[in-house]
Structure formats: structure tokens, C-alpha cells
Amino acid sequence: MRIYEGSPRQDFEEVLRSIGAFLDQRGMREILLVEAPDGFIVQGLVTEGSDQGTWSEAVGRQVKETLTFLDDDIARFMEEAVGRRAAGASAPDWAAAGYYERAFRVLGKWIDQQRPRDIFFLEQGGAFVVRLHVTGPQGGHHELAEFTKDDIEQMIESGPAGRQP
């Protein structure tokens, strides 16, 4: 991951988990995430509420929102996440985490195993399409992977058993 070159490598698992927790708090859905040279660009749908107008406007409307997370933002998210987990119980409450925090974490773990140069993915209805840029002796190329909602839920369910104590 470029944002951590030259320092002890932080993995996609923890970085994406931290971004996912932020998106859960924001209420964002239908996510598109692109790695950029200085962080990540995230686009998704959020619901804007309205207390005026007709009944259908009162429940809100979905709008597209684009966020840029720079290196410093991601470092802060990760520090805050570690602080929240340290302040709580001796073990993090995996079940209390939001969907994107859990899904991005297990997806990040899978991505780490692939050792990509950079990543891009989109999510719709809990399913993910991932594009990785992988480099090797013959140069770089893109690889695609698809995870259904059931695949992600299965990865989430087995996630806690695969972690170190």
C-alpha cells in the first residue's frame, strides 16, 4: 500500500476496517472505493432527510456523496479504532461492529493475501467486485474477483476464528 511505503506496513485489513467503521457511522451504502496515491476515494449513497415538503420527502432522499481519505485521515481512523477497542472489553465486540466494518475487514484480509499494488472495488447489495493491480517478475496486470453477499457473510462468520488471540 503506497501510503505506508517506507514505514512498518499497515495492512488492508485494518485500513479497510477503519474506513468501513466510518462509513457505517455515516450511513453510506452502495460503496465504490478507489486507492489513490495519497489515500482513498470513496463514493456511495447517503440518505438526506427533510422535515418539510410532502410525506415522501420527509423520509429523505438518496444522494451520491464522494469522500477523500488522505493518509492522515486513515491514520487517525486507525488510532481511534484501536483506542475504542482498548477502552472496551478485553476482546473487541465483533458482533456489535457495523456491516461495512466487518465486511471491509474480511475483504481486506483476503486482499492482503493477494499482495496487490493497489485496489479498487465496488459493493452493491452486500456483493463485491474487486480489481487488484498485481505486480510480478513479468510486470503488472489487473485481476478481478467477485464475492456474493453470501460469500462475504460466510467470511464474516468465520473471521473471528482465524485471528490470533
Helix, strand, coil abundance in the chain, percent, nearest 5: 45, 35, 25
Contacts of residue 42, Cβ cutoff 8 Å, sequence gap at least 6: 19, 23, 28, 31, 32, 33, 34, 66, 67, 68, 69
Task: Provide the whole-model pTM.
Answer: 0.81
Q: Is the CA virtual torsion 149, 88, 21, 161 positive or negative?
A: negative
C-alpha distance from residue 45 to each of 77, 79, 126 (Å): 21, 26, 14
Is residue 164 pLDDT above 70, yes or no?
no
Higher-scoring residue by pLDDT: 2, 109: 109
pLDDT of residue 6: 43
105-130: pLDDT as tens digits: 999 999 999 999 889 999 999 999 99
Q: Which residue has the cell 457511522?
A: 25
